């Protein structure tokens, strides 16, 4: 049996809904072999982030070299990178191993506002990581921090933000719409420097959206690993996260995780369509 392989470079979420745990569950659900390089361990649950324990660049490089010298990923994503040294290490190893199909989810804070990236690392991410990326997937607060735009509301401002983000070097920008409560169709906007494509769903009224961004970017990464185009990968990713939110598990006392097994169940029931046939 051959299988496509995907790598996540991200933080660990002990609560299991976001970070490395969400990414590996998503890779597995989409029939891709998942690998990980951990940047930091967080003590986290549905009530919030209770501690952040960075592993440091030396430990990150060791993990990336272990993967790079033996198991080449067909696609990779970055999530919580924590600080400048981790961003530099990740960018350096991505270049060294000539890894392609790179998606950066520019994680800056958890849904309840706790910081997951040091403020002085934002510029490093733009300068060193974005030019290596096939896709970046900022949410609206991240897009504001990256572009310096104060309020990004309405489609015109979203398009302007996407243009500015695209000028930072990635091939595609996906501006996520989860934080725009005024949009009932929760639209994510994809831009390749020429055309805009809107991916809409149905906004679910729920507090259980912990890790939606991680899950979306992991699903896109899995599809890219299997050989999908970026628009096709985003379409599958959006369907995956929509199903995961709709079938939420209602566990924990706070902002709960999504259900990573929901998309597979819908596939089996014929409710959603399979992504690409794997090329591996």
Ligand X SMILES: Nc1ncnc2c1ncn2[C@@H]1O[C@H](COP(=O)(O)OP(=O)(O)OP(=O)(O)O)[C@@H](O)[C@H]1O
Active-site annotation, residues: 176, 209, 211-214
| Interatomic CA distance for residues 142 and 98, integer angstroms | 27
Q: Are 126 and 168 in contact (CB under 8 A)?
A: yes
Instruction: Tell me which of 104, 128, 214, 248 binds ligand X, using CB under 6 A.
Output: 214
| Interatomic CA distance for residues 7 and 36, integer angstroms | 5
Q: How far is the CB of 156 from ligand HMH (least distance, A)?
A: 28
Residue 209 interacting entry, from ligand HMH, ligand X, none, C-beta within 5 to 8 Å by type: ligand X
Residue 248, CA distances (Å) to 30, 37, 257 in order: 18, 27, 7
Q: Residue 88: phi, psi to the nearest 5?
A: -60, -45
Residue 260 interacting entry, from ligand X, ligand HMH, none, C-beta within 5 to 8 Å by type: none
| Interatomic CA distance for residues 271 and 275, integer angstroms | 13
Residue 241 interacting entry, from ligand X, ligand HMH, none, C-beta within 5 to 8 Å by type: ligand X
Which residues fall within 8 angstroms of residue 154, CB to CB, at 6 or more apart? none
Angle subtended at Cα 267 by Cα 261 and Cα 268, rounded to the nearest 5 degrees: 90
| Interatomic CA distance for residues 20 and 211, integer angstroms | 10
Does residue 176 touch ligand X according to CB under 6 A?
Answer: yes
| Interatomic CA distance for residues 158 and 179, integer angstroms | 12
Does residue 208 touch ligand X according to CB under 6 A?
Answer: no
Residue 216 interacting entry, from ligand HMH, ligand X, none, C-beta within 5 to 8 Å by type: ligand X
Instruction: Tell me which of 186, 228, 233, 235 binds ligand X, using CB under 6 A.
Output: 186
Q: Count CA atoms closer than 13 A to 77's CA, side-chain side.
A: 34
Residues 202-241 that bind ligand HMH (CB under 6 A): 211, 213-214
Chain-centre distance of CA 151, in angstroms?
A: 22
Instruction: Tell me which of 6, 91, 107, 224 binds ligand HMH, using CB under 6 A.
Output: 107
Does residue 210 touch ligand X according to CB under 6 A?
Answer: yes
Short-list 241, 255, 244, 260, CA closest to 45: 255
Site string for ligand HMH, 19-58 (x = CB under 6 A): x----------------------x-x--------------
Residues 135-164 that bind ligand X (CB under 6 A): 139
Instruction: Tell me which of 34, 54, 73, 211 binds ligand X, using CB under 6 A.
Output: 211
Please give the residue ranges that form the binding site for ligand HMH (CB under 6 A). 10-11, 13, 18-19, 42, 44, 79-80, 107, 110, 116, 211, 213-214
Please give the residue ranges that form the binding site for ligand X (CB under 6 A). 18, 111, 139, 176-179, 186, 188, 201, 203-204, 206, 209-214, 216, 238, 241-242, 245
């Amino acid at each position: 049996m051959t299988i496509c392989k995907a790598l996540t470079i991200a933080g660990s979420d002990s609560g299991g809904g976001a970070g490395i745990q969400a990414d590996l569950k998503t890779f597995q659900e989409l029939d891709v072999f998942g690998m990980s390089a951990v940047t930091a361990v967080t003590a986290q649950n549905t009530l919030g982030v209770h501690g952040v324990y960075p592993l440091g660049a030396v430990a990150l490089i060791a993990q990336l070299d272990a993967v790079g010298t033996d198991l080449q990923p067909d696609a990779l994503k970055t999530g919580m990178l924590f600080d400048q040294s981790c961003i530099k290490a990740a960018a350096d190893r991505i270049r060294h191993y000539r890894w392609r199909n790179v998606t950066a989810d520019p994680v800056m804070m958890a849904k309840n506002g706790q910081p997951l990236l040091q403020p002085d690392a934002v510029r490093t991410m733009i300068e060193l990581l974005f030019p290596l990326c096939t896709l970046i997937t900022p949410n609206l607060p991240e897009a504001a921090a990256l572009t310096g735009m104060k309020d990004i509301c309405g489609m015109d401002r979203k398009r302007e933000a996407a243009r500015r983000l695209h000028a930072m070097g990635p091939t595609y920008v996906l501006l996520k719409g989860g934080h725009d409560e005024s949009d009932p169709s929760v639209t994510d906007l994809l831009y390749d420097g020429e055309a805009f494509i809107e991916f809409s769903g149905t906004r679910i009224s729920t507090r259980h959206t912990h890790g939606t961004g991680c899950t979306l970017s992991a699903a896109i990464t899995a599809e890219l690993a299997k050989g999908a185009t970026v628009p096709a990968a985003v379409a599958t990713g959006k369907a995956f996260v929509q199903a995961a939110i709709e079938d939420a598990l209602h566990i924990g006392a706070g902002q709960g995780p999504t259900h990573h097994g929901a998309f597979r169940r819908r596939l089996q029931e014929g409710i959603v369509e399979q992504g690409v046939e794997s090329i591996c």
